[in-house]
A = this chain, B = another copy of it.
Amino acid sequence: MTASKQQPRLVTAQQFYTFAEPPDQMLLESGARLGPVTIAYETYGQMSADRDNVILITHAFSGDSHVAGYLADDKEDAKPGWWDSLVGPGKGIDTDSYFVICSNILGSCMGSTGPASINPATDKPYGLDFPMVTIGDMVAAQKALMDHLQINSLLAVIGGSVGGMQVLEWCIRYPDMVRSAVPLATTMRHSALAIAFNEVARQSIMADPNWNKGDYYGKEGPDLGLAIARMIGHVTYLSDEAMRRKFGRRLQDKRDFSFGFDADFQVESYLRYQGSKFVRRFDANALLYITKAADYFDLVDNLTTRESIRDLSGATIKFLVISYTSDWLYPTYQARELVQALKRSSQDVSFCEINADCGHDAFLLPDERLTNLISGFLKGVFNG
């Protein structure tokens, strides 16, 4: 797509909403209480007078509220938000038509309350005193933000991966508020394989002596452990095919093997780079909490809440479920299981498997097919 004329730079600002001030703390699924809770969020576009054009975008495990455009103080060469290919004026999720909100999840480190936040009881960062939060708790915090913004109907909730879990949780918890839902590259219950990768990532952080049982703020943190956790993540986000195409066995600027433990292959350098880059922007404890929330996620047989896709029977939500052929973290067979469960609950479900060789990460990459799918779906819901 080439725009006929240059769009002005989409500029946004991170905002904050704080609630659950003691003694009215938030009751979490675990039974623990948390408060105050701050949620960082950004908005794009204008809310209609009828407040009927609101789209909530939910982000994946290491994401943030900066889904599109630029912040006012961004440099000229700054990268735009993480889904800028899809969200903005004239784009698939068109901010000329819709009012888009994206909020940073509870438990994260990108502006919302998480383990790196100050615990008012001690005036020190929570660390492991932060209570375990679930996908349901993240969604409950988003609901509090919607109440604050006086939004009581969502045209759509859209998100991939851990964001897709939040989409499904929204439908279960607040079916009357959700007109349509687009879960991408996700699952209705975390598989043993996905739990296994998360567990290895957590162990690699907790094995780092600098982790210090989560009490490392203001000191040297578990950077090596966190980098390895990210490397594990990156392998799971790509596919065999994508790695073959992207790296193959190409060497890193050498004509022969080093016969040592330097990075010989480009794929090794790539992973080391991704690991060290992540350390500069993400908190190790936040990774522990958010991966655990994903592992607990189960809308088939939830042990704590007893929530299930079956609970949707009374709802009338339009679903667009999207999976990717080469996603082996949340493979298409899991999307099909979700589609079947939704249909058994009498929901209106469209399903699309997109042919892509880039693995789980595919949903984050610019893709005209995704743009057209989502834009067409949203128009149908908005006008329908």
User: Which of A144-152, A173-181, A296-304 binds B?
Assistant: A296-304
Contacts of A40 in B (CB 8 A): none
Q: Quick one: given A203-B272, A257-B304, A272-B203, are A192 and B267 in contact (CB under 8 Å)? A: yes
Contacts of A30 in B (CB 8 A): 257, 259
Contacts of A304 in B (CB 8 A): 256-257
- A215 sits at the interface (CB 8 A): no
For the complex, what is the distance from the CA of A128 to the CA of B259, rounded to whole Å? 11
Contacts of A195 in B (CB 8 A): 249, 265, 267-268
The distance from the CB of A115 to the nearest CB of chain B, in whole angstroms, is 11
Q: Quick one: given A265-B195, A265-B295, are A203 and B189 in contact (CB under 8 Å)? A: no
- A292 sits at the interface (CB 8 A): yes
For the complex, what is the distance from the CA of A227 to the CA of B199, rounded to whole Å? 12
Contacts of A206 in B (CB 8 A): 261
* Residue of B whose beta carbon sits closest to that of A28: B259
The distance from the CB of A63 to the nearest CB of chain B, in whole angstroms, is 22
For the complex, what is the distance from the CA of A246 to the CA of B303, rounded to whole Å? 20
The distance from the CB of A225 to the nearest CB of chain B, in whole angstroms, is 7
Contacts of A228 in B (CB 8 A): 200, 203-204, 207, 228
- A217 sits at the interface (CB 8 A): no
Which of B131, B132, B197, B208 contacts A207, CB < 8 Å?
B208
Which residues, 192 to 214 on A, are CB-close (under 8 Å) to B? 192-193, 195-197, 199-200, 202-204, 206-209
Chain A interface bracket (under 10, 10 to 19, 20 to 34, 35 or more): 35 or more
This chain: copies in complex: 2
The distance from the CB of A196 to the nearest CB of chain B, in whole angstroms, is 5
For the complex, what is the distance from the CA of A300 to the CA of B364, rounded to whole Å? 34
- A66 sits at the interface (CB 8 A): no
Contacts of A199 in B (CB 8 A): 231, 263, 265, 267-268, 271-272
The distance from the CB of A165 to the nearest CB of chain B, in whole angstroms, is 14
For the complex, what is the distance from the CA of A231 to the CA of B203, rounded to whole Å? 9
For the complex, what is the distance from the CA of A251 to the CA of B261, rounded to whole Å? 39
Contacts of A271 in B (CB 8 A): 196, 199-200, 203
| Residue among A207, A243, A272, A288 facing the most chain B CB atoms (10 A cut-off) | A207
Which residues, 238 to 253 on A, are CB-close (under 8 Å) to B? 238, 240, 243-244, 246-249, 251
The answer to whether B265 and A193 touch across the interface, beta carbons within 8 angstroms, is: no
Contacts of A35 in B (CB 8 A): none
Q: Quick one: given A192-B247, A196-B267, are A260 and B132 in contact (CB under 8 Å)? A: yes
What are 6 contact pairs spanning A and B, CB under 8 A? A192-B246, A196-B243, A204-B207, A207-B225, A207-B227, A228-B228
5 nearest interchain CB pairs? Answer: A207-B224, A192-B243, A132-B259, A30-B259, A192-B247
Q: A192-B244, A196-B271 are in contact. List 7 more A-B contacts (CB 8 A).
A: A131-B259, A132-B259, A195-B268, A200-B271, A203-B228, A228-B228, A261-B288
> Which residues of A come within 8 Å of B, CB atoms?
30, 32, 128, 131-132, 189-193, 195-197, 199-200, 202-204, 206-209, 224-225, 227-228, 231-232, 235, 238, 240, 243-244, 246-249, 251, 255-257, 259-261, 263-265, 267-268, 271-272, 275, 288, 292, 295-296, 298, 301, 303-304, 328, 331
